[in-house]
Amino acid sequence: MVNDDCFMKKALDLAAKGRGFTSPNPMVGAVAVRDGEIVGKGYHEAVGDAHAEVNAVDDAGASAKGATLYVTLEPCNHTGRTPPCTEKILNAGIKRVVVAMNDPNPDVKGNGNAYLRKQGIDIISGVCEAEARKLNEIFIKHITTKRPFVTLKCAATLDGRIATRIGDSKWVSGEESRKFVHRLRHAMDGIMVGIDTVKKDDPSLTTRLNDMNGRDPARIILDTRLSISEDTNILRLDSDAETLIITGSSVSEDKKAGIENKGARVIETSLKDGLIDLDPLMDLLGAMGITSLLIEGGSRVIASALKAGIVDKINFFYAPRILCGDDGVPICKGPGPDMMKDCLIVREMNIRRFGEDVMIEGYL
Protein backbone atom coordinates (compact mmCIF):
# COMPACT_ATOMS: atom_id res chain seq x y z
CA MET A 1 0.00 0.00 0.00
CA VAL A 2 1.36 3.43 -0.96
CA ASN A 3 2.06 5.65 2.06
CA ASP A 4 0.88 9.03 0.84
CA ASP A 5 1.69 10.74 4.15
CA CYS A 6 5.31 9.57 4.05
CA PHE A 7 5.99 10.91 0.58
CA MET A 8 4.12 14.14 1.28
CA LYS A 9 6.27 14.78 4.34
CA LYS A 10 9.35 14.46 2.13
CA ALA A 11 7.81 17.04 -0.19
CA LEU A 12 7.16 19.33 2.79
CA ASP A 13 10.79 19.01 3.89
CA LEU A 14 11.87 20.03 0.41
CA ALA A 15 9.48 22.98 0.39
CA ALA A 16 10.97 24.35 3.61
CA LYS A 17 14.34 24.75 1.85
CA GLY A 18 12.85 27.74 0.04
CA ARG A 19 12.20 29.65 3.27
CA GLY A 20 13.20 33.28 2.89
CA PHE A 21 13.74 33.10 -0.87
CA THR A 22 10.28 32.67 -2.44
CA SER A 23 8.27 35.68 -1.21
CA PRO A 24 5.71 36.71 -2.31
CA ASN A 25 5.27 33.16 -3.62
CA PRO A 26 4.59 30.22 -1.31
CA MET A 27 7.11 27.54 -0.37
CA VAL A 28 6.33 24.42 -2.42
CA GLY A 29 7.98 21.00 -2.63
CA ALA A 30 7.27 18.02 -4.88
CA VAL A 31 8.41 14.43 -5.28
CA ALA A 32 7.67 12.04 -8.13
CA VAL A 33 7.17 8.43 -7.05
CA ARG A 34 7.05 5.32 -9.27
CA ASP A 35 6.69 1.77 -8.01
CA GLY A 36 7.16 2.97 -4.45
CA GLU A 37 10.48 4.72 -5.14
CA ILE A 38 11.24 8.43 -5.43
CA VAL A 39 12.38 9.07 -8.98
CA GLY A 40 12.36 12.87 -8.92
CA LYS A 41 12.26 15.71 -6.44
CA GLY A 42 12.31 19.48 -6.46
CA TYR A 43 11.20 22.62 -4.71
CA HIS A 44 10.53 26.25 -5.55
CA GLU A 45 13.97 27.68 -4.90
CA ALA A 46 13.40 31.41 -5.46
CA VAL A 47 10.80 33.82 -6.75
CA GLY A 48 10.88 33.84 -10.55
CA ASP A 49 12.51 30.40 -10.74
CA ALA A 50 10.83 27.18 -11.83
CA HIS A 51 8.08 25.79 -9.62
CA ALA A 52 8.50 22.66 -7.54
CA GLU A 53 6.48 20.45 -9.91
CA VAL A 54 8.65 21.43 -12.86
CA ASN A 55 11.85 20.70 -10.98
CA ALA A 56 10.56 17.33 -9.76
CA VAL A 57 9.36 16.26 -13.21
CA ASP A 58 12.61 17.37 -14.84
CA ASP A 59 14.56 15.49 -12.18
CA ALA A 60 12.53 12.33 -12.89
CA GLY A 61 13.01 12.52 -16.65
CA ALA A 62 11.47 9.57 -18.48
CA SER A 63 10.60 7.95 -15.14
CA ALA A 64 7.87 10.56 -14.63
CA LYS A 65 5.60 8.69 -17.05
CA GLY A 66 3.06 6.75 -15.03
CA ALA A 67 4.33 8.16 -11.74
CA THR A 68 2.52 9.79 -8.83
CA LEU A 69 3.43 13.40 -8.09
CA TYR A 70 3.24 14.57 -4.49
CA VAL A 71 3.04 18.35 -4.25
CA THR A 72 2.49 20.50 -1.17
CA LEU A 73 0.27 23.05 -2.95
CA GLU A 74 -2.29 22.69 -5.71
CA PRO A 75 -0.51 22.95 -9.11
CA CYS A 76 -1.02 26.29 -10.83
CA ASN A 77 -3.14 26.44 -13.98
CA HIS A 78 -2.26 29.99 -14.97
CA THR A 79 0.71 31.80 -16.45
CA GLY A 80 2.53 34.12 -14.07
CA ARG A 81 6.29 34.52 -13.93
CA THR A 82 6.43 30.92 -15.18
CA PRO A 83 4.15 28.73 -17.38
CA PRO A 84 1.34 26.68 -15.78
CA CYS A 85 2.50 23.57 -13.95
CA THR A 86 -0.59 21.63 -15.00
CA GLU A 87 0.67 21.42 -18.59
CA LYS A 88 4.06 20.19 -17.40
CA ILE A 89 2.34 17.44 -15.42
CA LEU A 90 0.18 16.37 -18.35
CA ASN A 91 3.05 16.38 -20.86
CA ALA A 92 5.18 14.26 -18.52
CA GLY A 93 2.57 11.49 -18.35
CA ILE A 94 1.98 11.73 -14.59
CA LYS A 95 -1.02 9.52 -13.80
CA ARG A 96 -1.82 10.59 -10.21
CA VAL A 97 -1.32 13.81 -8.25
CA VAL A 98 -1.49 13.98 -4.45
CA VAL A 99 -1.94 17.52 -3.10
CA ALA A 100 -1.50 18.69 0.49
CA MET A 101 -3.66 21.82 0.23
CA ASN A 102 -5.64 23.79 -2.32
CA ASP A 103 -4.26 27.14 -3.45
CA PRO A 104 -5.69 29.73 -1.00
CA ASN A 105 -5.61 32.46 -3.65
CA PRO A 106 -9.34 33.19 -4.12
CA ASP A 107 -8.75 34.03 -7.78
CA VAL A 108 -7.38 30.58 -8.68
CA LYS A 109 -8.43 28.24 -5.85
CA GLY A 110 -9.34 24.80 -7.17
CA ASN A 111 -8.59 25.60 -10.82
CA GLY A 112 -5.48 23.43 -11.03
CA ASN A 113 -7.06 20.36 -9.46
CA ALA A 114 -10.24 20.73 -11.51
CA TYR A 115 -8.32 21.07 -14.76
CA LEU A 116 -6.18 18.00 -14.09
CA ARG A 117 -9.24 15.94 -13.15
CA LYS A 118 -10.91 16.98 -16.40
CA GLN A 119 -7.85 15.67 -18.24
CA GLY A 120 -8.17 12.27 -16.55
CA ILE A 121 -5.59 12.66 -13.79
CA ASP A 122 -6.42 11.00 -10.47
CA ILE A 123 -6.34 13.80 -7.83
CA ILE A 124 -6.12 13.29 -4.07
CA SER A 125 -6.22 16.42 -1.92
CA GLY A 126 -5.79 17.14 1.80
CA VAL A 127 -2.84 14.85 2.61
CA CYS A 128 -0.83 16.47 5.46
CA GLU A 129 -2.93 19.60 4.99
CA ALA A 130 -2.37 20.98 8.51
CA GLU A 131 1.42 20.79 8.08
CA ALA A 132 1.20 22.42 4.67
CA ARG A 133 -0.93 25.27 5.96
CA LYS A 134 1.45 25.96 8.83
CA LEU A 135 4.42 25.96 6.46
CA ASN A 136 2.74 28.62 4.31
CA GLU A 137 0.92 30.58 7.01
CA ILE A 138 2.54 33.77 5.71
CA PHE A 139 1.39 33.22 2.13
CA ILE A 140 -2.13 32.28 3.23
CA LYS A 141 -2.54 35.42 5.36
CA HIS A 142 -1.27 37.81 2.70
CA ILE A 143 -3.05 36.29 -0.31
CA THR A 144 -6.41 36.27 1.49
CA THR A 145 -6.22 39.62 3.35
CA LYS A 146 -3.56 41.62 1.45
CA ARG A 147 -1.93 42.30 4.84
CA PRO A 148 1.35 40.94 6.22
CA PHE A 149 1.56 38.00 8.58
CA VAL A 150 2.93 39.58 11.78
CA THR A 151 5.26 37.80 14.21
CA LEU A 152 6.13 39.48 17.50
CA LYS A 153 9.48 38.58 19.04
CA CYS A 154 10.93 39.60 22.37
CA ALA A 155 13.59 38.37 24.79
CA ALA A 156 12.98 38.78 28.51
CA THR A 157 14.19 37.78 31.93
CA LEU A 158 12.10 35.37 33.96
CA ASP A 159 10.59 38.36 35.75
CA GLY A 160 9.46 39.89 32.47
CA ARG A 161 12.03 42.61 31.75
CA ILE A 162 13.63 43.25 28.36
CA ALA A 163 16.26 45.69 29.67
CA THR A 164 17.57 47.16 32.93
CA ARG A 165 16.51 50.56 34.24
CA ILE A 166 19.33 52.22 32.26
CA GLY A 167 18.32 50.40 29.06
CA ASP A 168 21.02 47.70 29.01
CA SER A 169 19.73 44.68 27.09
CA LYS A 170 22.94 43.00 25.82
CA TRP A 171 22.38 40.27 26.13
CA VAL A 172 19.15 39.08 27.72
CA SER A 173 19.03 35.87 25.69
CA GLY A 174 21.83 33.49 24.75
CA GLU A 175 23.69 32.90 21.52
CA GLU A 176 21.49 30.02 20.34
CA SER A 177 18.36 32.15 20.69
CA ARG A 178 19.97 35.00 18.78
CA LYS A 179 20.94 32.64 15.95
CA PHE A 180 17.32 31.54 15.67
CA VAL A 181 16.18 35.18 15.54
CA HIS A 182 18.47 35.76 12.56
CA ARG A 183 16.75 32.83 10.83
CA LEU A 184 13.43 34.52 11.60
CA ARG A 185 14.74 37.72 10.00
CA HIS A 186 15.83 35.79 6.92
CA ALA A 187 12.30 34.41 6.54
CA MET A 188 10.58 37.81 6.81
CA ASP A 189 9.98 40.59 4.30
CA GLY A 190 10.17 43.31 6.94
CA ILE A 191 11.43 43.97 10.46
CA MET A 192 9.91 46.74 12.58
CA VAL A 193 11.17 48.64 15.62
CA GLY A 194 10.44 51.99 17.23
CA ILE A 195 12.67 55.03 17.14
CA ASP A 196 13.57 54.61 20.83
CA THR A 197 15.21 51.27 20.00
CA VAL A 198 17.16 52.89 17.17
CA LYS A 199 18.37 55.73 19.41
CA LYS A 200 19.30 53.43 22.29
CA ASP A 201 20.86 50.46 20.47
CA ASP A 202 21.79 51.88 17.02
CA PRO A 203 21.02 48.44 15.49
CA SER A 204 21.65 47.31 11.92
CA LEU A 205 18.54 45.04 11.75
CA THR A 206 20.25 42.83 9.17
CA THR A 207 20.42 39.04 8.84
CA ARG A 208 23.68 37.41 9.90
CA LEU A 209 23.95 33.65 9.40
CA ASN A 210 27.12 31.57 9.40
CA ASP A 211 25.92 28.73 7.17
CA MET A 212 24.23 30.66 4.36
CA ASN A 213 23.82 34.07 2.78
CA GLY A 214 20.75 35.29 4.59
CA ARG A 215 18.32 37.80 3.12
CA ASP A 216 17.94 41.16 4.86
CA PRO A 217 14.34 42.19 5.54
CA ALA A 218 13.16 45.72 4.83
CA ARG A 219 13.88 47.84 7.91
CA ILE A 220 10.76 49.68 9.12
CA ILE A 221 11.24 52.36 11.76
CA LEU A 222 8.29 53.93 13.57
CA ASP A 223 9.31 57.55 14.08
CA THR A 224 6.28 59.78 14.69
CA ARG A 225 8.19 63.08 14.69
CA LEU A 226 10.99 62.10 12.27
CA SER A 227 13.60 62.51 14.98
CA ILE A 228 16.02 59.91 13.59
CA SER A 229 19.64 61.03 13.27
CA GLU A 230 21.11 61.12 9.77
CA ASP A 231 24.23 59.46 11.24
CA THR A 232 22.44 56.40 12.60
CA ASN A 233 23.78 53.00 11.56
CA ILE A 234 20.57 52.04 9.74
CA LEU A 235 21.13 54.86 7.23
CA ARG A 236 24.72 53.80 6.51
CA LEU A 237 24.26 50.10 5.71
CA ASP A 238 25.47 48.25 2.63
CA SER A 239 22.27 46.24 2.16
CA ASP A 240 19.93 45.39 -0.71
CA ALA A 241 16.92 45.84 1.57
CA GLU A 242 15.01 49.10 1.87
CA THR A 243 14.84 51.28 4.95
CA LEU A 244 11.38 52.77 5.54
CA ILE A 245 10.85 55.53 8.08
CA ILE A 246 7.17 55.70 9.06
CA THR A 247 6.23 59.13 10.38
CA GLY A 248 3.35 61.53 10.91
CA SER A 249 2.27 64.18 8.43
CA SER A 250 3.55 67.27 10.24
CA VAL A 251 7.29 66.81 9.76
CA SER A 252 9.99 69.07 8.44
CA GLU A 253 10.40 68.88 4.67
CA ASP A 254 14.11 69.68 5.05
CA LYS A 255 14.56 66.81 7.52
CA LYS A 256 12.59 64.50 5.24
CA ALA A 257 14.79 65.41 2.27
CA GLY A 258 17.92 64.85 4.34
CA ILE A 259 16.82 61.35 5.35
CA GLU A 260 15.79 60.44 1.81
CA ASN A 261 19.16 61.64 0.53
CA LYS A 262 20.64 58.91 2.70
CA GLY A 263 18.70 56.33 0.68
CA ALA A 264 15.76 55.72 3.02
CA ARG A 265 12.09 56.25 2.18
CA VAL A 266 10.04 58.48 4.45
CA ILE A 267 6.38 57.46 4.49
CA GLU A 268 3.82 59.74 6.11
CA THR A 269 0.80 58.03 7.62
CA SER A 270 -1.99 58.58 10.13
CA LEU A 271 -1.56 58.79 13.88
CA LYS A 272 -3.71 57.51 16.72
CA ASP A 273 -3.31 58.89 20.25
CA GLY A 274 -0.09 60.56 19.14
CA LEU A 275 1.50 57.35 17.81
CA ILE A 276 1.63 55.64 14.41
CA ASP A 277 -1.72 53.95 13.77
CA LEU A 278 -0.58 50.38 13.15
CA ASP A 279 -3.80 48.95 11.72
CA PRO A 280 -3.90 51.03 8.49
CA LEU A 281 -0.12 50.73 8.31
CA MET A 282 -0.55 46.98 7.78
CA ASP A 283 -2.74 47.67 4.74
CA LEU A 284 -0.07 50.02 3.40
CA LEU A 285 2.77 47.54 3.93
CA GLY A 286 0.74 44.71 2.40
CA ALA A 287 0.05 46.80 -0.70
CA MET A 288 3.81 47.41 -0.96
CA GLY A 289 4.38 43.65 -1.24
CA ILE A 290 5.52 43.05 2.34
CA THR A 291 3.91 39.69 3.08
CA SER A 292 5.49 39.13 6.49
CA LEU A 293 6.64 41.37 9.32
CA LEU A 294 8.79 40.69 12.37
CA ILE A 295 8.26 43.12 15.24
CA GLU A 296 11.27 43.35 17.56
CA GLY A 297 10.27 46.19 19.85
CA GLY A 298 10.73 48.09 22.08
CA SER A 299 8.15 47.83 24.79
CA ARG A 300 5.90 50.65 23.55
CA VAL A 301 5.82 49.18 20.04
CA ILE A 302 5.13 45.69 21.43
CA ALA A 303 2.21 46.99 23.50
CA SER A 304 0.83 49.04 20.60
CA ALA A 305 1.00 46.07 18.21
CA LEU A 306 -0.81 43.76 20.63
CA LYS A 307 -3.50 46.32 21.43
CA ALA A 308 -4.01 47.09 17.73
CA GLY A 309 -4.73 43.41 17.08
CA ILE A 310 -2.21 43.13 14.24
CA VAL A 311 -0.13 40.29 15.73
CA ASP A 312 -0.66 36.77 14.38
CA LYS A 313 2.13 34.89 16.15
CA ILE A 314 4.48 35.38 19.09
CA ASN A 315 7.98 34.15 19.80
CA PHE A 316 8.81 35.03 23.41
CA PHE A 317 12.27 34.03 24.62
CA TYR A 318 12.79 33.72 28.37
CA ALA A 319 16.35 33.59 29.67
CA PRO A 320 17.34 32.06 33.04
CA ARG A 321 17.89 35.51 34.52
CA ILE A 322 16.03 37.38 37.25
CA LEU A 323 16.49 41.16 37.35
CA CYS A 324 15.29 41.38 40.98
CA GLY A 325 13.58 44.75 40.68
CA ASP A 326 10.53 46.52 39.32
CA ASP A 327 12.44 49.34 37.64
CA GLY A 328 13.61 47.54 34.49
CA VAL A 329 11.95 47.88 31.09
CA PRO A 330 8.84 45.66 30.88
CA ILE A 331 7.81 43.67 27.81
CA CYS A 332 4.83 45.99 27.33
CA LYS A 333 4.78 49.66 28.32
CA GLY A 334 1.57 51.49 29.16
CA PRO A 335 -1.73 50.61 30.83
CA GLY A 336 -3.21 47.16 30.50
CA PRO A 337 -6.75 45.88 31.18
CA ASP A 338 -8.30 45.99 34.64
CA MET A 339 -9.54 42.41 34.52
CA MET A 340 -7.75 39.15 33.78
CA LYS A 341 -10.65 38.09 31.57
CA ASP A 342 -9.64 40.83 29.16
CA CYS A 343 -6.12 39.47 28.59
CA LEU A 344 -5.13 38.28 25.13
CA ILE A 345 -5.20 34.48 24.92
CA VAL A 346 -2.30 32.65 23.27
CA ARG A 347 -3.33 29.46 21.49
CA GLU A 348 -1.57 26.47 19.91
CA MET A 349 1.43 27.02 22.15
CA ASN A 350 4.70 25.29 21.45
CA ILE A 351 7.76 25.37 23.75
CA ARG A 352 11.34 24.98 22.52
CA ARG A 353 14.76 25.20 24.14
CA PHE A 354 17.64 27.20 22.71
CA GLY A 355 20.64 26.58 24.92
CA GLU A 356 19.52 27.65 28.39
CA ASP A 357 16.66 29.79 27.05
CA VAL A 358 13.03 28.76 26.64
CA MET A 359 10.99 30.02 23.69
CA ILE A 360 7.21 30.12 23.80
CA GLU A 361 5.60 30.19 20.38
CA GLY A 362 1.88 30.64 19.91
CA TYR A 363 -0.90 32.32 17.96
CA LEU A 364 -3.26 35.15 18.80
Give the residue numbers annotated as catalytic, written as ranges: 53
DSSP characters over 333-345: -S---SSGGGSPP
Q: Which residues of 260-280 are buried (b: 16+ CB within 10 A; e: fewer)?
A: eeeebebeebeeeeebbebee
Cα 307-312-314 angle, rounded to 5 deg: 85
User: How far apart (Å, rounded) are the C-alpha atoms in residues 298 and 165?
Assistant: 14
Reduced to 3 states (helix: H, G, I; strand: E, B; else coil), residue 318 is strand
HSE-CB at 336 with a 13 A cutoff on CA atoms is 14
Which has the closest alpha carbon to 260: 214, 282, 228? 228
- Nearest-angstrom CA–CA distance, 168 and 163: 5
Per-residue burial over 55-88, b if 16 or more Cβ lie within 10 Å, else e, is bbbebbeebbeebbbbbbbbbbbeeeeeebbbeb
Name, in order, each residue with C-beta under 8 angstroms of 223's C-beta and a sequence gap of 6 or more.
Answer: 194, 195, 198, 245, 246, 247
C-alpha R_g of the chain: 23
